[in-house]
Chains A and B, each alone.
Chain A
């Protein structure tokens, strides 16, 4: 048993820390978040050159064949820098969905391009009902000839406006069990009947879209594993959720670091504010939140890589804990900075908004606590 990172992972961490310090300081974050794309071609190319777009893809498709634990190290650093753009959606949503559920032809067609930075992908899963379970997938896929016609609306789709391909979860049949009859379809950019609208988001570093499909015709080759769509989709969402938790851990650690530095230098009544217990004790609470968030996230990442039966439970424990923790930490960060923390100029709001957005991505703490209750047979 060993609950630490190996030398390669520590190296990845320090490389990533340096990379984002140089390539994505908060001035860059602010420029990127103002632009609809949330990313520049130059930075995207550099991410590809590092091999990070293919970190978890198999070698045969141009990837590095590393695991979720490795990806967690990178994502912690990305969350620390609140890096905007479609990395998360391309690697952990679209890319992973193709990897988990795609046909061989689809993997061959898309994964090498994703790894090299030529193509961006995302996953259109949720709908206006905001229902997280399988029952939430109602977008219709009607059989037509040898292919399908897709009709419906997807919401909260990450970076669909810049995606070259969207993996769409659709219902090919409905029966007693909502998990049956779901299929995944690959719909490339520019397909007739596909409309993407970028939505204004509170967290500008995260781009969300509405995706409508009106009589979108796809051939049978567009479909991944037929009629078994929910299982791989659930695996993708679990893995993406762990990835999200890692980003949140990195962001929370950065907020704690900023707050501690500030509390050491900011003077009030002739003393640094960090010497007052009202401030110090809050900082200690933040530390506990950050450390615990990391512990449960790392455990969940390991559980994903090892495919242990308690994997989904580990994911839900992590998302429930980290959702609450990041919200508390980012809120306390603003509070302990006082007025300056409430300004647009200070970076804290980037983290505060990222925390709030992440809280409601892939299920909030309340939703995951109920899932924990179910999984432990309460």
Chain B
């Protein structure tokens, strides 16, 4: 057991550190001081440029093979990178669904042609990806999905609808799960397609969320043609491929989640120092100290549980269902954090953007509302608990 860095790891850390110091946009850190949650639509263009800059410096996709645009490093470097991003509060990567999910899945299952075609443009943010999994009648029971892809000549014709599709309105490509064999058992008739979002017949309708933003969408497919060459991982093998994606999501995004939690916590502590309870800073209030300390502890615990998972990964073990535990824990911690941000504000918690009386311009109200999605997106907490119960503990299915 050793938490110290090797000389190579130290030099990688220094490389990241000095680059961030030189390139970090100053106004961004001011804005992020308040620990907001996910990128807001008004900063998409900025984030595109930022990711491109990060990529050119060699800090996006560090674990991906060199021939597909990555740096061929290990998850240890990925962890070090994210630790630095958290410390400096650098902006997040916009093309997160590509980097966290689509890319690793294509590298795992793709043909050589697919592996050379897609991953590099994900890293450079030239092509943004979204995930076409959930449907109006298929959420947690994903395998019941109804969107159909029928073979006509050398291509497939897709009809149906996806929903809760984050970034679809900005996306060039979609990871699409569609039913290719309606007669097969529900898990077995699904195929994973790489779908061009600019194809005729694709309609994207933004959905307004409880935050007032429209960050996710409904996506309709009306006779959309997808070439056969865009199948990933083989016909009717989509369930296995899609589940790999989810495992990567829960693992790789774990690094990002850790960063977000740390940044949000630092913002919360700052808010607590500026808030008053009984005539003194809230950080001097015994109950607030307990709550803040617990969040501090949970943030650190989350980091070390992640570090144990990385150690396993480096020993050659694949990301397993344990990642569900991390996702679940993050959700619980982050929602509690956002609740505490409201509690610190007291009656001011009721005020949103547009008044001088709102605390920090009302950003906390936005991140508080947004945090309600955390226990739903990427697999609900209930589904994570099923996965842990069944696949880690070996309990029987219901």
Question: Which A residues are within 8 Å of any B CB, using their own CB?
Answer: 1-6, 69, 256, 260, 263-264, 271-272, 274-277, 279-281, 283-285, 287-288, 291-292, 294-296, 298-299, 301-302, 306, 317, 320-321, 366, 369-370, 372-373, 376, 378
Contact = CB atoms under 8 A, between A and B. Distances in A.
Given A281-B385, A283-B389, A320-B293, A288 B269 contact: no
A301 B292 CA distance: 24
Interface string B359-398: 0000000000000000000000010111011101111111
B28 interface: no
A288 B329 contact: yes
B183 interface: no
A260 B283 contact: no
B305 interface: yes
Query: What are the 6 tightest A-B residue pairs by CB atom distance, in nearest-first order?
Result: A280-B389, A274-B395, A295-B304, A284-B385, A369-B293, A284-B388
Nearest to A263: B395
B310 interface: yes
Interface stretch (B1-9, B60-68, B88-96): B1-9
Given A5-B1, A378-B269, A260 B395 contact: yes
B23 interface: no
Contacts of B286: 370
B398 A1 contact: no
Given A1-B4, A4-B312, A369 B294 contact: yes
A275 B1 contact: no
Interface of B: 1-6, 9, 76, 79, 269, 272, 283, 286, 289-290, 292-294, 296-298, 300-302, 304-305, 307-308, 310-312, 314-315, 322, 325, 328-329, 382, 384-386, 388-390, 392-398
Contacts of B396: 264, 271-272, 274-275
Contacts of A277: 382, 385-386, 389, 398
A284 B389 contact: yes
Nearest to A305: B1
Contacts of B328: 284, 288
Nearest to A70: B1
A264 B395 CA distance: 6
Nearest to A313: B300
Given A288-B329, A372-B293, 5 more contacts: A1-B5, A285-B385, A294-B308, A370-B289, A370-B290
B305 A291 contact: yes
B62 to A, nearest CB: 15
B63 to A, nearest CB: 15
Contacts of B311: 2-4
Indicate the member of A1, A299, A320 with the most B CB atoms within 10 Å: A1
Contacts of B315: 4
A276 B304 CA distance: 31
A314 to B, nearest CB: 8
B395 A369 contact: no
9 contacts: A3-B310, A260-B393, A284-B325, A284-B384, A284-B386, A291-B322, A294-B308, A299-B300, A317-B301
Highest count of chain A CB atoms <10 Å: which of B4, B311, B328, B395? B395
A274 B9 CA distance: 44
Contacts of A283: 388-389, 393, 395
A280 B385 CA distance: 7
Contacts of B386: 277, 280-281, 284
A317 B296 CA distance: 9
Nearest to A324: B294
A279 B389 CA distance: 9
Contacts of B307: 1, 3, 295
A370 B289 CA distance: 7
Contact of A1 (B2, B289, B312, B384): B2
Contact of A288 (B6, B9, B325): B325
A2 B314 CA distance: 9
Nearest to B9: A1
Contact of A284 (B289, B297, B393): B393
Contacts of A1: 2-6, 9, 76, 79, 307
A306 B3 CA distance: 10
B307 to A, nearest CB: 5
A376 B266 CA distance: 11
Contact of B308 (A4, A260, A317, A372): A4
A369 B290 contact: yes
A295 B305 contact: yes
A344 B21 CA distance: 62
A14 B389 CA distance: 26
Contact of A274 (B283, B382, B389): B389
A284 B389 CA distance: 5
Given A280-B385, A370-B289, A296 B300 contact: yes
A296 B290 CA distance: 18
Q: Which of A3, A69, A299, A372 has the most CB of B within 10 A?
A: A3
B1 A378 contact: no
A317 B269 CA distance: 17
A272 B396 CA distance: 7
B344 to A, nearest CB: 13
Contact of A296 (B2, B292, B301): B301
Contacts of A306: 3-4
Contacts of A321: 297-298, 301
A371 B308 CA distance: 26
B392 A287 contact: yes
A2 B397 contact: no
A4 B1 contact: yes
B393 A287 contact: yes
Most chain A C-beta atoms within 10 Å of own C-beta, residue among B297, B311, B322, B388: B297
Which among A6, A260, A263, A292 has the highest number of chain B CB atoms within 10 Å?
Answer: A292
Nearest to B6: A1
Contacts of B384: 284
A301 B283 CA distance: 29
Contact of B301 (A292, A366, A370, A378): A292
Contacts of A370: 286, 289-290, 293
A193 B396 CA distance: 62
B388 A366 contact: no
B325 A372 contact: no
Contacts of A298: 1, 304, 308
B267 to A, nearest CB: 14
Contacts of B304: 3, 295-296, 298-299
A265 to B, nearest CB: 10
Contacts of A271: 396
Contacts of A280: 385-386, 389-390, 395, 398
